[in-house]
């Protein structure tokens, strides 16, 4: 029996799903999961230190907001003008480089005096069908131990090869209690897709998340990236991605991958389903095909 597929002997028609990772990848997972999930939660990395997010971190001493914004927009109606405005990025003047949604989030957090309240207000504003929670409630720095030594900062880590492990500074940075509760209550936990070390494991590295996933009765699925990333996962096959998760105390029940871009599977004891996950654009995952594959694992 697949873990999480049954509850008290009865199949749940609308499972509780938690997606863990970073902005672009987890946004795709949320778009996919909203097609079949009942309760839906994104637990999102806030370790970014580049671009608009990095500038706002320095200005307001807040967590990185960009990945939270992307996931909130993913849960809004596709034809929402407000969601489109959230993604509007200015290209000139003092606001050049900032996404409007990042500025609105910063304002809501300041107005409410609380990160979770500000994100919740943004979700209500967008009519989000689901919940978005930060992986930590305080600003953190991503740190990697690599073949070149210790590297600090998400942008720097992304440009580093030979990474062994990543962690957060401060090391005791924790997720909100709600994130751990949603993981405990989930029928399915979906990790990825997204940059392995700078998005996926940047979220998992928050103290308590890996432990919550391990103790959950949920089916744990890893959605692998479609291709290697220059420097960060150069030379990786699917099995190497799974091994990296294991080094961070994350074991998964099943892996979804699509080898259309040429990534090989390699050798792993974890069950791997190589299925079509892309649409007309073979560079990104299709929410519709990912939804079909994820819901099929619970059938």
Name the nearest CA neighbour of 242 among 212, 276, 200: 200
Counting beta carbons within 10 angstroms of the beta carbon of residue 58, is it exposed (0 to 12), middle (13 to 18) or buried (19 or more)?
exposed
Do residues 207 and 179 touch, judged by C-beta distance below 8 A?
no
What pLDDT was estimated at residue 7?
A: 44
Distance CA 83, CA 101 (A): 8
Summarize the confidence of residues 184-211 as an average pLDDT: 97
Name the nearest CA neighbour of 183 among 149, 214, 158, 205: 214
Q: State pLDDT tens for residues 112-170.
A: 999 999 999 999 999 999 999 999 999 999 999 999 899 999 999 999 999 999 999 99
Summarize the confidence of residues 91-117 as an average pLDDT: 91
Q: State pLDDT tens for residues 15-62.
A: 999 999 998 999 999 999 999 999 999 999 999 987 777 788 778 788
Q: State pLDDT tens for residues 270-299.
A: 999 999 999 989 999 999 999 999 999 998
Identify the residue whose tokens are 């200005």.
59
Name the nearest CA neighbour of 84 among 68, 69, 66: 69
Residue 1 has pLDDT above 50, yes or no: no
Q: Which two tokens stand for residue 173?
A: 């940075």
Residue 261 has pLDDT above 70, yes or no: yes
- Identify the band that residue 8 occupies on the pLDDT scale cut at 50, 70 and 90: very low
Cis ω before 193 (30° cut-off from 0): yes
pLDDT, mean over the chain:
93
Could you give the angle at which helices 100-112 and 66-74 cross, rounded to 10 degrees?
A: 100
Q: State pLDDT tens for residues 215-226.
A: 999 999 999 999
83 vs 5, which has greater pLDDT? 83
Residue 201 has pLDDT above 70, yes or no: yes
What pLDDT was estimated at residue 54?
A: 74
What pLDDT was estimated at residue 10?
A: 46
Q: Which two tokens stand for residue 267?
A: 């050798």
Pairing type for strands 163-169 and 149-152 reads: unpaired
Identify the residue whose tokens are 């990825």.
192
Q: Which two tokens stand for residue 64?
A: 């990185």
Do residues 43 and 18 touch, judged by C-beta distance below 8 A?
yes
- Identify the band that residue 93 occupies on the pLDDT scale cut at 50, 70 and 90: confident
Do residues 252 and 221 touch, judged by C-beta distance below 8 A?
yes
Q: State pLDDT tens for residues 228-259.
A: 999 999 999 999 999 999 999 999 999 999 99
Its CATH architecture, for the domain 6-298, is 3-Layer(aba) Sandwich (3.40)
Number of Cβ atoms within 10 Å of the Cβ of 299: 8
Any idea what DSSP says for residue 31?
H
DSSP codes, 58-108: HHH-----HHHHHHHHHTS-TT-HHHHHHT-B--SGGGTT-BHHHHHHHHH
């Amino acid at each position: 029996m697949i873990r999480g597929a049954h509850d008290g002997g009865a199949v749940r028609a609308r499972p509780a799903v938690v997606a863990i990772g970073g902005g672009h990848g987890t946004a795709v997972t949320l778009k996919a999961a909203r097609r079949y999930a009942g309760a839906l939660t994104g637990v999102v990395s806030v370790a970014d230190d580049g671009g608009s997010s990095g500038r706002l971190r320095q200005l307001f001493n807040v967590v990185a907001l960009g990945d939270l914004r992307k996931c909130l927009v993913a849960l809004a109606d596709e034809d929402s003008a407000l969601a489109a405005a959230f993604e509007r990025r200015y290209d000139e003047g003092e606001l050049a480089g900032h996404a409007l949604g990042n500025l609105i989030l910063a304002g809501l957090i300041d107005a409410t005096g609380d990160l979770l309240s500000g994100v919740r207000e943004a979700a209500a504003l967008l009519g989000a069908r689901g919940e978005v929670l930060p992986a930590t409630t305080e600003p953190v720095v991503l740190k990697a131990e690599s073949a070149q030594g210790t590297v600090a900062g998400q942008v720097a880590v992304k440009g580093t090869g030979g990474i062994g492990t990543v962690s957060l500074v401060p090391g005791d940075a924790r997720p909100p209690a709600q994130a751990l509760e949603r993981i405990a209550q989930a029928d399915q936990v979906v990790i990825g897709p997204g940059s392995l070390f700078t998005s996926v494991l940047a979220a998992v590295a928050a103290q308590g998340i890996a432990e919550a996933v391990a103790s959950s009765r949920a089916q744990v699925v890893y959605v692998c990236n479609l291709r290697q990333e220059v420097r960060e996962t150069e030379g990786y096959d699917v099995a190497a991605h799974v091994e990296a998760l294991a080094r961070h105390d994350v074991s998964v029940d099943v892996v979804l991958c699509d080898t259309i871009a040429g990534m090989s599977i390699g050798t792993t004891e974890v069950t791997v389903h190589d299925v079509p996950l892309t649409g007309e654009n073979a560079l990104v995952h299709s929410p519709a095909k990912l939804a079909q594959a994820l819901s099929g694992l619970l059938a």
